[in-house]
Structure 1
Amino acid sequence: MKKSYVAVTSVLFLALALTAYSERGAIMLKILPGALDKIMSQQPLAELPDGLHISLCGAGGPMPSDNRSGPCVAVMAGEQLFVVDAGTNGARNLGRMGFNQGKIEALFLTHFHSDHIDGLGEMAMLRWVADNNSGPLPVYGPAGVAEIVSGFNRAYAQDAVHRTDHHGVKVAPPSGAGMSPKDFALPKIGESVTVYSNENLQIEMISADHFPVTPAVAYKFTYKGRSLLISGDTVKSPSIEKHSAGVDLLVHEALSTKLMVLMAESAARTGNPLREKLFNDTHNYHTTPVEAAEIARDARVGHLLYYHIVPALMAPGMEAIWLEGVEEVFSAVTLGQDGTSISMPANSREIIHQSSLL
């Protein structure tokens, strides 16, 4: 009797499953409107408490990765949205996380390596048409940012014409296309320069050390008693440590020398001398995970968030190798990936780890 009941139940379940599969299009048409309404009505900025918050729109470096796109950090200060660097997929990830790219106040570049700028054109275009902005996207950076902006503006000039011709001036007003540069002289080592400020917010530019890549800078955000510093690409830097002193959150790049050596050795064994050289060349202008932890410890920061994770952590166990030795130096760490979000309510000491937005 029991076996018969199980058999009948199994047949019925299979029949229901087959019916559901065959009618999946019709079922989806019933479900989709509500799901789309939920997506369209997302307002993550409005849902956050007043404070300083970050979401990684790109946690990786130049190497392909399934869950770590090119470097991109969204910073929310109160109701203002800023972006630091615009790596591949950064603009799209912002949309996937529910942010309206049209609300971006300004974008800040740490330096001009391709993986930090290759999503600029898309970021500017989406910012323009997502909220019918009538002015171009302000792009802040050290000397040289004007040339970068000019090049992207030229490359996207015809696209801008097409957008306006197709959607009209109410969606894509010509005056809002592209970007406008805001460049600043590189601060002396150990010093900073304020590049953006209002009543409650200060954004400072700080020299980093990514030699032979120059200029290279970090950015420090201070808002209503909360602070964070985004390192950009750099070796372990006394200047970064100095300006990180006491910040609530240090967002720092890092590269695992051990994993890069393994990759270089593999390239040598398999007859790829160019790749071997590329993998070996990367060691001398990045920070190791342990070195970043030492900065966090010595600067007495509240929390360390790793980003610009190099190399790509493609297999189980690689994260453990990447983090070797970190726990012994500084334990309040997060290994970032796309969507990692941290919230710091104003005038408090809370550091809240949000659910991933992706």
Structure 2
Amino acid sequence: MKTSTKWLLVLAGVATVGVLTVRHYQEQIGLALFERAVNSRVGRDATVSLPDGLHVALCGTGSPLPNADRAGACTVVIAGKHMYVVDAGEGGARNISLMGIPNGKIEGLFLTHFHSDHIDGMGPMMLLRWTGSSAKAPLAVHGPTGVEAVIAGFNAAYSQDNGYRVAHHGEDIVPPSGAGATAMPFAIEGESAVVLEKDGLKVTAFKVDHDPVSPAVGYRFDYKGRSVVVSGDTAKSAVLERVAKGADLLLHEALQPRLVSKMTAALDKKGLGNTAKITRDILDYHASPEEAADSARKAGVGQLVFTHIVPPFPSHFFNPAFQGNAPKRFKGEIVVGEDGMLFSMPAGSKAINRRELM
């Protein structure tokens, strides 16, 4: 027998023994690995090492169209020691936790409008904030007129569950006064209005065009010379361009009509006319990547990040097809947002640093 063949047989034997050993001790190995993972992740707080400044974490960059890699609309904004969330799409609270950002630190939620994909993750967000910090006051939910009805509905839907939690864990762990949410409605006379000022943070709400959805708003956050604008859902908006003037970061929704049209054609071919009608309709109240790039250029922002991505696509390979001509229309950096991204804008600096939290 050749030496090489003998070595192959020896290696095969060693591999077989290794596989059998792993199977024999699989339970013990699994327990040990699980304990190590728990010890490294439980209590993790990615916010404690952040420098003073403005930080934006993408907890959901998806849309109502199913996408395994993207939660519904959700953005975390951290200004100094204060943390807020814009929109609460399905899976957003889960991603906040997976990024190592404690839901218990959420001080308030800002809703851009009341489409289901921007509010359907509010239940888990209310629960994880409440249980994660033994909150004694409900989650403050800021939004345009109409937010009162949304919050009343969620509070009613979760009232029995809240009772179960208190009965099981006790009032010290889950104070009854901290369950649910409180509506904080605002009205906008003209184009925009300041809706919150706290410890150097200013939040400005502004009207956007998402007809027939009304009211619909975006938000600008300013803190210690740094700024981010979150568009919400909107067609190309002159108001947004005015409010976003000079912002460091523009987080803008984007729908690529060329790709959506291919989906529509496929739906028609399959005889799915009902869904095809919807994919045609959505073209008129969303902005394309190219239109968002035009707005970024007119506003003179530092960086453009696409979110609320439509349609879904499976990998980075498709980013250029999604962006289309956007890079030709805006010469600053353009990022196709993904769940887990963190953008940090330290106070006293012009830097925008990016890293992945999950």
Both proteins in one fold, TM over 0.5: yes
Shift of 1:80: 1.4
Shift of 1:48: 1.1
Which consecutive segments of 4 or more residues in structure 1 shift more than 3 A?
A: 314-318
Letter of the 1:338 counterpart: D
5+ residue gaps in structure 1? none
Residues 247/316 of structure 1: CA separation in 2 closer, same or farther (3 Å cut)? closer
Shift of 1:316: 7.0
Confirm or deny: 8 A CA contact 1:251 1:304 kept in the other structure. Answer: yes
Q: For 1:174 and 1:42, how far apart are their aligned partners in 2?
A: 26
Letter of the 2:87 counterpart: D
- 1:243-282 residue pairs with structure 2 within 5 A? 243-282=243-282
Give the match for residue 337 of structure 1: 338
- How far does the alpha carbon of each residue in 1:297-323 deviate from its partner, in whole angstroms, 9 at most, with x for none? 121111111100011113675433211
Give the match for residue 59 of structure 1: 61
SS in 2 for 1:46: coil
Q: For 2:283 and 2:188, how far apart are their aligned partners in 1?
A: 24
- 1:65-80 residue pairs with structure 2 within 5 A? 65-80=67-82
Q: For 1:62 and 1:33, how far apart are their aligned partners in 2?
A: 36
Q: For 2:258 and 2:143, how far apart are their aligned partners in 1?
A: 32
Give the match for residue 231 of structure 1: 231
Counterpart pick for 2:111 among 109, 119, 134: 109
Q: For 2:162 and 2:63, how far apart are their aligned partners in 1?
A: 29
Letter of the 2:341 counterpart: T
Confirm or deny: 8 A CA contact 1:186 1:215 kept in the other structure. Answer: no
Give the match for residue 290 of structure 1: 290
Letter of the 2:245 counterpart: A
Confirm or deny: 8 A CA contact 1:46 1:79 kept in the other structure. Answer: no
Shift of 1:18: 2.9
Residues 45/317 of structure 1: CA separation in 2 closer, same or farther (3 Å cut)? closer
Residues 21/296 of structure 1: CA separation in 2 closer, same or farther (3 Å cut)? farther
Letter of the 1:246 counterpart: G
SS in 2 for 1:61: coil
Confirm or deny: 8 A CA contact 1:187 1:207 kept in the other structure. Answer: no
- How far does the alpha carbon of each residue in 1:54-85 deviate from its partner, in whole angstroms, 9 at most, with x for none? 11110011111011111000111112111000
Residues 169/142 of structure 1: CA separation in 2 closer, same or farther (3 Å cut)? same
Confirm or deny: 8 A CA contact 1:86 1:123 kept in the other structure. Answer: yes
Give the match for residue 51 of structure 2: 49
Shift of 1:221: 0.5
SS in 1 for 2:236: coil
- 1:1-358 residue pairs with structure 2 within 5 A? 1-189=3-191, 192-314=192-314, 317-331=317-331, 332-354=333-355, 356-358=356-358
Q: For 1:51 and 1:150, how far apart are their aligned partners in 2?
A: 34
SS in 2 for 1:156: helix
Shift of 1:19: 1.3
Q: For 1:272 and 1:32, how far apart are their aligned partners in 2?
A: 45
Q: For 2:223 and 2:287, how far apart are their aligned partners in 1?
A: 27
Shift of 1:34: 2.8
Q: For 2:23 and 2:184, how far apart are their aligned partners in 1?
A: 55
SS in 2 for 1:197: strand
Residues 21/293 of structure 1: CA separation in 2 closer, same or farther (3 Å cut)? farther
Confirm or deny: 8 A CA contact 1:143 1:186 kept in the other structure. Answer: no
TM-score (norm 2): 0.96
- Mean Cα deviation higher: 325-334 or 239-248: 325-334
- Mean Cα deviation higher: 56-65 or 179-188: 179-188
